[in-house]
Chains A and B, each alone.
Chain A
Amino acid sequence: MIGGVAWSTVGDLLLRHLYLAGVPLLVGLLISLPLGWLATRYRWLAPPMIAGTGLLYTIPSLALFILLPLLLGTRVLDDANVLVAMTLYSVALLTRTVADGLGSVPGATRQAATAMGYGELRRTLVVDLPLAVPVITAGLRVAAVSNVSIVSVAALIGVSQLGQLFTEGFNRNDMGPIVVGIVACVALALVLDAGIALLSRVLTPWLRAGVAR
């Protein structure tokens, strides 16, 4: 027991929270990669695309959780609402990041790759994308941390995750579960943040080599 909550309960809710915040992050990245690529490849697409995805971010989270059943035909309590909402928020943040990342690749590097006989698709995947990793993972860290925070709001519509500890504690006028929930949320966010930072380091060995010398 910690703060009046069983350890196993905290563990279960933590896993649920990771699922609701993490899966949309990965799906959102997979959607944002082609969108961001389109925005860099066809410059005129960038402003409407950035504005459009930015628009998604203006919708308050609780409102989006409640509106999605109307659009998707799901039940209010369905996990799918939270998963789709978090995917939309992830896409809103990451499309811009991917476009910035791909746009940051030096023109000389692209031209060198083309001169070596790389086709556009192969160059994008093998040259541009790896060089964009630092920018993309920086955006991914922001998205991961804010996803963890936003998911807890779903407790208000009855979807269980760490935010449930907030509502339970508040209804019982008991600070214990709320504090446990906050600490677990922050810990989860920090672990995801550190994990992505580490992944970025592993994926970009050339950056370290440059610093070491």
Chain B
Amino acid sequence: MISLTWQWLIDPATWTGPGGIIAQSITHLRISVVALVLAALVAVPVGLFIGHTGRGRWLAINLAGAFRAIPSLGVLFVATLLLLPRLSGDLAFELPVVLVLVLLAVPPVLSGTYAGVEAVDPAARDAARGVGMTETQILWQVEFPAALPLLISGLRSAMLQIIATATIAAIVGIGGLGRYLIDGQASRQYEVMAGGAIVVALLALLVDLVMAGVQRIVVSPGLVVAKEH
């Protein structure tokens, strides 16, 4: 089994062409990034608002917990059955999936952003107010940069969830690396399933590493020093 999987993985034909690993990885990444960006566009401003004003805290605290209980596979099927007959063209398969991915990604990004702003040292906020910063300046120049570590942690866990769910979503017909897992099972080729599973696990790991690298670069070194002391 292991050698068959290995042979499948090192075969150049597996990697190239329209259904190859490279093309499917790009599709997988494209869907995942679109979903993450859309989720961040919704969740980051709301999280900043909740963190800055303290209004709607129960939403940020309970939303993540409640959403974790909802099985993503079930929601994926519901969205597809509801939306697919009403859509046409290339987007018909992808739109319900992206919608579900955004829905799953909003809670972790929201609670990460909110927790990040709330964890800002009150002394830093007071000092900013003391030197005459407006509320908007405090939000963007003090709270936002200081919230980045937890905000990006939220984005990272959201992205892992998106990549995993986008894999499962191959069952409703979209492209991406999940195709190997689902099609390999349909054609009873375990080496295709296992090879695809290895590639998607590596992709998830790689994306998480890249995001960890971005986190290192954008988080102010002052915050890292402050944490170590």
- Which A residues are within 8 Å of any B CB, using their own CB? 55, 57-64, 66-67, 69-70, 76, 142, 145-146, 148-149, 152-153, 155-157, 162-163, 166-167, 169-170, 173, 175, 178-179, 181-182, 185-186, 189-190, 193
Closest B residue, CB atoms, query A180: B74
Most B-side CB within 10 Å, residue of A66, A70, A175, A185: A66
Known: A66-B197, A156-B168. 9 other contacts (CB 8 A): A57-B160, A60-B167, A63-B181, A66-B193, A67-B197, A149-B72, A156-B171, A181-B71, A181-B74
Please state if B69 and A62 are interface contacts (CB–CB under 8 Å).
no
- Asked whether B129 is an interface residue with its Cβ less than 8 Å from the other chain, the reply is no
In the assembled complex, B190 has its CB within 8 A of some CB on chain A: yes
Assembly CA distance A161 to B50 (angstroms): 39
Residues of B within 8 A of A193 (CB): 69
CB neighbours (8 Å) of A190 from chain B are: 69
Question: In whole angstroms, what is the CA distance A149 to B1 when docked?
Answer: 30
Q: Is the CB of A157 within 8 A of B197?
A: no
**CB-defined A-B contacts under 8 Å, sample of 14:** A59-B204, A63-B196, A70-B1, A146-B68, A149-B72, A152-B73, A153-B73, A170-B80, A170-B81, A170-B171, A178-B77, A179-B78, A181-B74, A185-B74
Which of A59, A60, A163, A186 is the most central at the interface, judged by chain B CB atoms within 10 Å of its CB? A60
Number of interface residues of B (CB under 8 A): 38
The answer to whether A163 and B168 have CB atoms under 8 Å apart is no
Cβ < 8 Å to A, chain B residues 73-128:
73-75, 77-78, 80-81
Check B78–A62 contact: CB distance below 8 A. Answer: no
User: Which of B's residues lie within 8 Å of A, judged by CB?
Assistant: 1-2, 5, 65, 68-75, 77-78, 80-81, 160, 163-164, 167-168, 171-172, 178, 181-182, 185, 190, 193-194, 196-198, 200-201, 204-205, 208
Bound Cα distance A148, B81 (Å):
23
Minimum CB–CB distance from B103 to chain A (whole Å) comes to: 13
- Given A61-B164, A166-B77, A179-B78, residue A185 in contact with residue B194 (CB < 8 A): no
B71:A185 contact, CB within 8 angstroms: yes
**Residues of A contacting B181 in the complex (Cβ-Cβ under 8 angstroms):** 62-63, 66, 156
Interface of A is mostly: helix
Question: Contact: A186 with B70, CB < 8 Å?
Answer: yes
A186 to chain B, nearest CB (A): 5
Q: How many A-B residue pairs have CB under 8 A?
A: 123
Q: How far is the CA of A52 from the CA of B75 in the complex (A)?
A: 31
Q: Which residues of A contact B208 (CB under 8 A)?
A: 58
Q: Assess the B69–A145 pair: CB atoms within 8 A.
A: yes
Residues of A within 8 A of B65 (CB): 142, 145
Per the bound structure, the CA–CA distance linking A59 and B202 in Å amounts to 8
Closest A residue, CB atoms, query B172: A170
5 A-B pairs with least C-beta separation: A60-B164, A63-B197, A189-B69, A182-B74, A152-B71
With A58-B201, A60-B204: A149-B69 Cβ-Cβ less than 8 Å? yes
Q: How far is the CB of A153 from chain B (nearest CB, A)?
A: 5
State in angstroms the CA–CA spacing of A58 and B202 once bound together: 9
Shortest CB distance A148–B (Å): 7
Pick from B69, B168, B178: contact of A186, CB below 8 A: B69
B200–A63 CB distance below 8 A: yes
- A166 adjacent to B201 (CB under 8 Å): no
Q: A residues within 8 A CB of B167?
A: 60, 62-63
A183 to chain B, nearest CB (A): 9
Asked whether B201 lies within 8 Å of A178 as measured between CB atoms, the reply is no
A185 and B69 form a contact (CB under 8 A): yes
A48 to B126, CA, bound (A): 37
A62 contact from B81, B178, B190, Cβ within 8 A: B178
Given A57-B160, A60-B164, A170 contacting B77 (CB threshold 8 A):
yes
User: Contact partner of B194 among A58, A70, A179, A186, CB < 8 A?
Assistant: A70
Give the residue name and chain of the A residue nearest to B193 (CB). A66
Once bound together, how far apart are the Cα atoms of A156 and B169, in whole Å?
11
Docked pose: A60 CA to B196 CA in angstroms: 11
